[in-house]
Structure 1
């Protein structure tokens, strides 16, 4: 009799619990420039995998090329890799490997590393070949539906979790829309501070006032840089972003259409030029040449904005003559994302101002078109809430 009562109580509790949804919706990129909402069967979880209930996913500038071109090798896919959510379900091996339990509030990195190569073992998993889609690797938000079970992107109500997923715990008081800033802000911390070495007494020039450039402003200010200069265009979009750059901590902004950037930086530095130059501008290659010209002797140049084309008549002698350090950047490290979450949690330097627009799942196309200037105005960091 005593044994049957607890069993009955457990059965009642289970009966009262809402059943897990058997289907979910996702925005699928089906052809260049178009996504459509599709309904999928919820995939089964194995002992070594899991499922994330997506709270929100940020829209990254790198989502734009996939959306606009959709490489045939990828086929239809669910975009979105700046994902924040709760562990919905996880197998026993996965829980032990992750050190997480169902219900935990986390932010994901896009990388799915192998876990055993020299780069993974030296904590540089972003360089692991398994994370490079050009080599057949996988990444969240860049792996197609044809790779089973297919639900590898964050513009979805649920996202499948591979065993080697890289997680970050999110403080419970941080809203998902702000937690989604962790990866772009992590890039800024990686580029300006951990790799660029920004610090007290230095002049830092940041080319391009987009998500990454603004994140570099925050990182340089947090690192104690003496003078932060941000360059941009005369377009209304860039002018609004330059204003935000000043709010986030930039000391000076330069409109390159109407000002000679080399002369202005020389004037602001007494002719010494910049200790650190970070090129975050997308598009043309001219900013690479300008970045090298802006750096002082023994200075550092960080190249973060992909040009997707060679630099014509590039003169490497300038690098030698000025004894420069030039680094190409590839994303963020685990440490930089952890530091980003700390800044977001306390809203240091008003970093949450970068989060400007939230969209529902059915508005995914609007958000992605905004990346190419065809959607909403005044957007900095946008997010997709898949439950709206």
Structure 2
């Protein structure tokens, strides 16, 4: 076999980290899929590790796995068919960030740019979603913890400025969530008091969005654990005015003190723990305030007193994901490094260390991680 042929053969294969069973991924080698007129292939530059990857990693549903995780993907168009190039307005080599949603493109939600609400993107309805679709769904390569990722015709792209490093561009989706929750849906604005429960990726992104929107007082709550202390310190560097360790202080009394008794115009619950933070979010909001519920609890709230919502004339919104607009705004903030937002990007791992990164989400890996990325070529 001559050198040219050996090179051709090696370029037809690639590696990916495959979640094969609960709490275990393994590196596997695959043949690159053939591209048709309506499909494409992304050469992955980097992929962010999202908190929502953790449940798949820990519990890997048999109906979904094995699969390639990772949906905060940034890379370059490697190949694209003629129809795909026309639909996307992109060409080979273009630098892009992907959304996880692969919508149908024709329902009422898609036509109003609410891709996240399209049934075709809902994994609970066996919808197609990057980072949550298994190898059994041809051509298998739907996740970003991989050197290459398959691109379906309805993929939602965002162009990334050439000056933005891939690891920073991977902040686009979590920061987009923060902009969506705090600003576009929460209505954060000048003069307001905003309380953010939970100092993880989403909570910190909400801090940035609330500060950019001009909120007068931003309060972030967390625990007195080592991890949360580090994150609360980062929240202050990103623009929070006050932080509260809720296992050390009475959060209702402290917020009342900080707001002169008025309480918060906007409360955003980003906490991933039990349902108690939903109750506290309602209690922390002022009359005519807004409560945004973003942190999934996965258990019902026992004996929830809905009269609190009525008595305070509250607006309560359930929130999931981001809009196209919020991700575009996020990329603008990242490109300008507004509020020093790129400091949220703390760790980059090679493909072989995907397990370590996913364990870190559960507090079992490296310390001090906020937003981690996987570089599949490292």
Counterparts of 1:34 and 1:131, CA distance in 2:
25
1:224 equivalenced with 2:224 (yes/no) = no
Partner of 2:68: 78
State the number of aligned residues. 374
Q: Tell me the equivalent position of 1:93.
A: 83
Of 208, 212, 219, the residue aligned with 2:202 is 212
The separation in 2 between residues aligned to 1:343 and 1:149, in whole angstroms, is 35
How far apart are the structure 2 equivalents of 1:169 and 1:293? 41
Matches within 5 A, 1:185-264: 185-264=175-254
Match of 1:353 in 2: 343
Where do residues 145-164 of structure 1 align in structure 2 (5 Å cutoff)? 145-164=135-154
Aligned to 1:4: none
Partner of 2:20: 30
Which segments of structure 1 move beyond 4 Å, counting only runs of 4 or more?
Answer: 17-20
Match of 2:362 in 1: 372
State the 1:20 CA deviation. Answer: 7.8
Please, which of 280, 288, 302 is the counterpart of residue 290 of structure 1? 280
Correspondence for 2:293 among 292, 298, 303: 303
- What CA distance in whole angstroms lies between the structure 2 residues aligned with 1:136 and 1:67? 18
Q: Could you tell me which residue of structure 1 aligns to residue 105 of structure 2?
A: 115
Report the equivalent of 1:267: 257
Secondary structure of 1:254's match? strand
Q: Give the TM-score of the pair, scaled to structure 1.
A: 0.95
Partner residue, 2:95: 105
Residue 19 (structure 1) shift: 8.1
Whether 1:65 and 2:55 are equivalent positions in the alignment is yes
Q: Which residue of structure 1 lines up, in the alignment, with residue 131 of structure 2?
A: 141
Per-residue CA shift, 1:213-258, capped at 9, x if unaligned? 0000000000000000000000000001000000000000001011
Give the distance between the partners of 1:122 and 1:154, measured in 2 at CA.
Answer: 27
C-alpha displacement at 1:283, in angstroms?
Answer: 1.4
Unaligned runs of 5+ in 1: 1-13
Q: Which position in structure 1 is the counterpart of 2:313?
A: 323
Residue 158 of structure 2 corresponds to residue 165 of structure 1: no
CA distance, structure 2, for counterparts of residue 346 and residue 135 of structure 1: 39
1:330, distance to aligned residue in structure 2 (A): 1.0
Greater C-alpha radius of gyration: 1
Query: Structure 2 stretches of 5 or more lacking a match?
Result: none
Q: Partners of 1:20 and 1:34 in 2: how far apart?
A: 27
Query: For residues 144-181 of structure 1, what are the alpha-carbon distances to aligned partners after superposition, in whole Å with 9 as ceiling and x for unaligned?
Result: 00000000000000000000000000000100000000
Cα RMSD of the aligned pairs, angstroms, is: 1.2
Q: How many Å apart are 1:74 and its aligned residue?
A: 0.5
The aligned residue for residue 337 of structure 1 is: 327
